[in-house]
Structures are given as structure tokens and as C-alpha cells.
Chain A
Amino acid sequence: EPEVTQTPSHQVTQMGQEVILRCVPISNHLYFYWYRQILGQKVEFLVSFYNNEISEKSEIFDDQFSVERPDGSNFTLKIRSTKLEDSAMYFCASKRRAGGPEQFFGPGTRLTVL
């Protein structure tokens, strides 16, 4: 069964450093998302991406964040200058078609900012 994959599984970085989190969505999916989950809290939407542009972003997704689909398979989230409060699990998700709610989530990348 096809699934969303994410790398790395755990990323440790120093405050102020740039990180890139990588995702490979399910191959025939067209809609891509990033969510984050601070330890013990609920999952929060960051951004959605379709047709090579951002469809929607939350108030969390400020100028420090960017997303890119550099080729036909990868979807990346970049944080330019990490802060301590960026420490969280970051989940990538994808969806095949518009309208329906079902998004398929990857296993997540745990980002730890020291």
C-alpha cells in the first residue's frame, strides 16, 4: 500500500540554523500539506500546497517558513532560522483529489531545536 514517507525521522539543530524537512507524498496525489504537533498537544495546520503554489497557510506559517516541490516527487518544508519553540513533530500529508477530507499522513520528523 502506498504511503507518505518523511526524512529524517529526527533532526537536531541549533537555534538560528536552517533546517529542511523532506517528504515524499503518495505518487498520484495532487494536494500536499504540512502540520506540526508540539509534544502532548493537538495537530496544527501549517500550509497546503497545490499546483506549485500555496493554497492556504496558517498564522504559524510566517516568513521563516517556506515550502517547495523541487521535483516530481519531493515536498519540502524549510525553516530559515529555527527558534526553540519550533521544536515539534512535523507531519507531511497528501491527498489525491479536491473536496474530500481524507489526508494521508507520513510518520513525521521530530525536530529538536537546542
Chain B
Amino acid sequence: GESVGLHLPTLSVQEGDNSIINCAYSNSASDYFIWYKQESGKGPQFIIDIRSNMDKRQGQRVTVLLNKTVKHLSLQIAATQPGDSAVYFCAEYATSGSRLTFGEGTQLTVNP
């Protein structure tokens, strides 16, 4: 079946470094790709999304890159801070439906 998945389950970085979290997807019909952050004991929190007709979108300290040729999505976090420590999920959304389809999650740990 179609799924959204992640390459690495864990990522450990030093405070101040840039982080890159990757995601592979297989459903080319998705209209949006989204990154969510989930801190321990909390619900997923929206970070940023990108439409399928774009290849890059920037937010505050975050950049999402979409490579449709290889069906790859990445989240870049600049100057990673301890507060960025969380599990990051990519998700996909098609406007023809209503659900978000989540990937497996990457645990980001920021070391001081």
C-alpha cells in the first residue's frame, strides 16, 4: 500500500548545529506534505507544510524541501535548540480526502 515513511528513527545533534530530518513517501497524488512536531506527552504540533507543486518553502528557522523525482521530503532546522528536541513526523494530505497520513517519526535529540 501507499505509505509515508522515514529514513532514520533517531537523530542526535549539538545545540547550534543545523538538523536535517528526512522522509520518503510513495503517494504521488498527495497535494500537501506537512511536518509535525510531537513533544513528550503532547499532541502533534504543526510546523510547516508544502504544496506538491513547490520544491522549497521556508519558515522561521525551518525549511522544507520536496523532491518529487525521488519522492523525498526533508525538514531542515537551523541553529537547533534544546527546545527542538521532539519526535518529528512527516505527513501527507490529499484535498480529495480529509485524513492526514503520518510517517513513522524521527526522534531528534539536541545535546547542549
Q: List the interface of chain A (C-beta within 8 A of B).
A: 4, 31, 33, 35, 41-45, 48, 50, 55-56, 58, 91, 93, 98-108
B104 beta carbon closer than 8 Å to chain A:
yes
Q: Which residue from B36, B42, B98, B101 sits with its C-beta under 8 Å from A108?
A: B42
Q: List the interface of chain B (C-beta within 8 A of A).
A: 31-32, 34, 36, 41-46, 49, 89, 91, 93, 95, 97-105
Subset of 24 A-B contacts with CB under 8 Å:
A33-B98, A33-B100, A35-B100, A41-B104, A42-B89, A42-B103, A43-B91, A48-B99, A56-B97, A98-B95, A99-B95, A100-B32, A101-B31, A101-B32, A101-B34, A101-B93, A102-B49, A103-B46, A103-B100, A104-B46, A105-B36, A105-B43, A107-B41, A108-B42
Taking A42-B105, A48-B99 as given, write out 13 further A-B residue pairs in contact, using a Cβ cutoff of 8 Å, ordered by the A residue number.
Answer: A4-B43, A31-B98, A33-B99, A42-B89, A42-B104, A45-B100, A55-B98, A56-B98, A98-B95, A100-B32, A102-B46, A105-B36, A105-B43
